[in-house]
Amino acid sequence: MNKLVRNIRIKKCIFSVIIIILFSVNALAGCDQVWNKAIEKPDDSIRIIYNVYAETFMDDTGSPVLEAKIVYPQIFNADSKNEIDIINQYLYEQMKAYRDIIATEGVYYAREDKDASVAGEYEFMIHTYTQTPKITYNGNGYLSIVYFRMEVTGGARPNIYLKAESFKVTTGERLSLEDFLGYRAESTVANVAAREIRLARQKGDTSYYDTYSRDVKRWYDPEDFYLSGKALTAFYQTDTIAPYTSGIPSFNISYNDFRMRKRVPAIPETDEQAELYIVAEELLERNHFVFSEVYGLSMLEMDMTKGNTIDKETYYPVIDPGFAEYEDLFTYLGKTYTTETVEKLLGNGMYKDVSGRLYGNPRVMDRSRYQYTIDWSNYGFEVVLESDIRAKLIIYNNEDDPARPKHINTSTELVKENGKWVLSGMIY
């Protein structure tokens, strides 16, 4: 594998770790997520497709300097089609606006960094921009979308940003903080945050800045909130009221709070389907790597000068640093596919365990066996939870028009094995 792909993979691993921490532990702590849930009215039930847009930007020499991957949702609801179209158009325009920023400002700074690396004789690391959404709540006609953005632009640490949007599904209305907390909404959030921080500090929590009482007023953006299962959750961006390492601080205001203007019934259940979308995106990314670099379109990089004849076939040592050992490939596949699929892939003769080292045989690779049908730079996917251990994963072609229906490319299953979700087979 070349240096570019290695760098991208390393950054995606960093992204995966950070998003798990921020989405699952910090920003969403103590909040039950429910979606696709018909509570009282049939028009509360929705379907979600996550659209994936990916693009590589080059410098004047044709060398890649920036990788962008923007995931954004598309909503389907037969009972409120016109209103849903309004929301989908807005979400699509938001995606385009972010893409335009990346394609202009992002590419400009990436090229500047590339030029500086040449002049300063240091290694240039390709810049990456990633956006991943999560539907945090859907019930009683309300819907919130939380976008996690990470921008790796050559600094000592990635830039992390959380963006949220809330809508009334049955009307297409975009909801504001004032809709829930009135004209003193920002003060209410600041007071709640200051009180919770004060109580935390009394218990020995030193993660917040000493100036928190001023910071919670100064740095709060009224657009930084979403609707969780039991509460309105307000959050602060990194390095505003607490150090960067503390992540994104969040504070809950219960729907039963006397200051709450809208009477939003709390929903106590937790829906695993919402979490599955994040898992599915990661699995599809891993599957794309396996198909593109390991088993489908090409193989891992090997040292073709050091052949080893085994059973009348010549195998060559893999020199990719991420897969030098046979166990490395076994583990990566095991985190991506079912045990049955892993056994088939490892048993097809393309790779072999030679005293613990990973060896490959390019002669065995047969590209004709794979029909490349999915455009991995522009596709959509939907997850339908069928049981505690099975879910249907549907892959769609992606249309530029947010109002147009999708056409199914293929479908497969997500299966829970040994407590973790994996793909039932390789998708291509």
* Domains defined for the chain, CATH in brackets: 3-270 (3.30.565.40), 292-368 (no CATH)
Integer Cα distance of 367 and 362 in angstroms: 11
Q: Using alpha carbons, select from 38, 256, 12 the residue that is nearest to residue 125.
A: 12
Nearest to 227 by CA among 155, 168, 290: 168
Q: Distance from CA of residue 72 to its chain's centroid? A: 10
Q: Within 10 A of 399 (CB to CB), how many other CB atoms are there?
A: 15
Q: What is the pLDDT of residue 344?
A: 93
Cα angle 354, 360, 363 (rounded to 5 degrees) comes to 135
Question: How far apart are alpha carbons 368 and 425 in whole angstroms?
Answer: 18
The owner of tokens 């798990």 is 20
Chain position carrying tokens 């992002």: 106
pLDDT in tens, the chain (428 residues): 444 545 555 455 555 545 544 554 344 433 333 334 333 333 457 889 999 999 999 999 999 999 999 999 998 876 667 788 899 999 999 999 999 999 999 999 999 999 999 999 999 999 999 999 998 887 778 889 999 999 999 888 999 999 999 999 888 899 999 999 999 999 999 999 999 999 999 999 889 999 999 999 999 999 999 998 889 999 999 999 999 999 999 999 999 898 998 878 777 655 677 789 999 999 999 999 999 899 988 899 999 999 888 888 899 999 999 998 999 999 999 999 999 999 999 999 999 999 999 999 998 887 666 666 788 888 999 999 899 899 999 999 876 666 665 677 888 999 999 999 999 999 98
C-beta pairs of 112-118 under 8 Å, 24+ apart in sequence: 113/65, 113/153, 113/154, 114/59, 114/63, 114/65
Q: Cα 134 from chain centroid?
A: 8
Tokens of 127: 């810049």
Global confidence as pTM: 0.83
Helix and strand totals (H; E) in the chain: 9, 17
* pLDDT of res. 400: 67
